[in-house]
Amino acid sequence: MNRVIGYLLMMFLLVGVNSAYAAGGVVKDPAGVAPDRYVYYPGTEALQEDEIRVVVCGSGMPAARHGQAATCFLVETGNGDKFLFDIGTGSMANVAALMIPYQYLDKIFLTHLHTDHMGDIDAIWAGGWTAGRPNALRVWGPSGMRPDMGTKWAMDKFLEHANWDFVTRKFQISPVPGNIETTEFNYKGENQVVYEENGVTIRSWPAIHTGDGPVSYALYYKGMKIVIGGDTFPNKWFVKYAKDADLLIHEAFMGPELFVKLYNQPPQLAWRACCAFHTSGQAFGKVMSELKPRMAVAYHFFNEEATRYSLYDNIRETYDGPLSLTTDLMVYNITKDKVTERMAVATHEAWAVPGTGRQPGPQPGQPPVFSKAIVDGRLDNIVQPAQKQMLDEFMEKYNLQDQDWRKQMKK
């Protein structure tokens, strides 16, 4: 009997040692570092040619919270391409913390036009514009039942609503980065190719959510497949076209009781939200049991002590395969051999990192954005002498002596 206990104890210790080793590795040298990282430090790991990295930049809900932004997944492929799938409210703070030059963050694929999936389009549009993106944004997204329910309408109207920003920034900075090139495709297209460049193919198929229009995407690269479900009730297209995924991202909602208790929703809405136009944990599990991905990824819930065990239990009622419950800045590396999950350790105080591209300056001949009455209110006679020495040095350093501020001083 004692031998059995001793054996079990030994096995327990071995397993313990093994799992610790797998997680981080042994530090053998007091001056050394852990051989395998527990965490991902943005900007420190080059992707292999045959590798994909997916960073969760938003995994939460429409209601804002510090800990989790609304939906956004960054997919990086080994050829250097980067794709943002959705850009929900608050998510750009996470994207920016990865310190990727804005010039590479110019391809956005929208699953649908709920603001928790596109609310930070303004942050990437204007933030990238001021931080040196030399090129226009490119946005792909589905059509709708009517022209005013499609992605093209949404992006055109976004620029219209931001017209003051657009016009004045164009005047002061550079016009090109303020443009949005929208590619709208038929939301009913089944497994249609919506993007094909540099060895990356992206396909779409219809999703079923709160009305016609939403889609799911699959990205194919070097024989690997990443599926981004967007918001959807389980549907026939998903189980048909999301097969053989290496990483299968699908929404999973908390049970209705938690929506009543924690989210202040009336019961008549709570059950529909979780289980009629979204996907419950049990339903998520059914989909995953059918598709058997290398890694099932659940998102679209606030991941915290009050919720995660209940959602986990709900999913485990119907699925026992590999499972990952997301929170923001979770990172997946995908190769043919393995799928790993880590957390990114990112700074809260990231600055934009320069790329190789340079913005052209303001275009001459832009229509005026100031009237004489407003310009005449400037206190140049007081301000310019005060900042003269500082600016003179700057202008000399960067060879800008002919710039406009001097003319204003001479008035």
Write down the least CB distance from residue 361 to Zn ion, Å: 40
Write down the least CB distance from residue 109 to Zn ion, Å: 15
Write down the least CB distance from residue 362 to Zn ion, Å: 38
The residue (of 114 and 225) whose beta carbon lies closer to Zn ion is 114
Write down the least CB distance from residue 288 to Zn ion, Å: 19
Torsion of CA 51, 339, 120, 235, to 10 degrees: 110
The residue (of 51 and 251) whose beta carbon lies closer to Zn ion is 251
The residue (of 65 and 338) whose beta carbon lies closer to Zn ion is 65
Per-residue HEC secondary structure of the chain comes to CHHHHHHHHHHHHHHHHHHHHHHHCCCCCCCCCCCCCCEECCCCCCCCCCCEEEEEEECCCCCCCCCCCCCEEEEEECCCCEEEECCCCCHHHHHHHCCCCHHHCCEEECCCCCHHHHCCHHHHHHHHHHCCCCCCEEEEEECCCCHHHCHHHHHHHHHHHCHHHHHHHHHHCCCHHHCEEEEEECCCCCCEEEEEECCEEEEEEECECCCCCCEEEEEEECCEEEEECCCCECCHHHHHHCCCCCEEEEECECCHHHHHHHHCCCHHHHHHHHHCCCCEHHHHHHHHHHHCCCCEEEECCCCCHHHHHHHHHHHHCCCCCCEEECCCCEEEEECCCCEEEEEECCCCCCCCCCCCCCCCCCCCCCCCCCCHHHHCCCCHHHHHHHHHHHHHHHHHHCCCCCCHHHHHHHC
Write down the least CB distance from residue 117 to Zn ion, Å: 6
Matching residue, tokens 């620029």: 159
Write down the least CB distance from residue 342 to Zn ion, Å: 25
The residue (of 120 and 231) whose beta carbon lies closer to Zn ion is 231
Picking from 251, 184, 191, the residue whose alpha carbon sits closest to that of residue 219 is 191
The residue (of 118 and 124) whose beta carbon lies closer to Zn ion is 118
Applying CB under 5 A, which residues contact Zn ion? 114, 116, 231
The residue (of 200 and 252) whose beta carbon lies closer to Zn ion is 252
Write down the least CB distance from residue 62 to Zn ion, Å: 7
The residue (of 207 and 334) whose beta carbon lies closer to Zn ion is 207
Write down the least CB distance from residue 111 to Zn ion, Å: 8
The residue (of 76 and 116) whose beta carbon lies closer to Zn ion is 116
**Whether the Cβ atoms of residue 85 and residue 54 lie closer than 8 Å to each other:** no
Write down the least CB distance from residue 67 to Zn ion, Å: 17
The residue (of 60 and 78) whose beta carbon lies closer to Zn ion is 60
Residues shown for the chain: 411
Write down the least CB distance from residue 251 to Zn ion, Å: 7
The C-alpha R_g of the chain, in whole angstroms, comes to: 25
| Whole-number Å distance between alpha carbons of 171 and 39 | 43
Write down the least CB distance from residue 250 to Zn ion, Å: 12
The residue (of 101 and 281) whose beta carbon lies closer to Zn ion is 281
The residue (of 76 and 231) whose beta carbon lies closer to Zn ion is 231
Using CA atoms, how far residue 1 sits from 5, 7, 14, 278, 295, in Å, is: 6, 10, 20, 52, 40
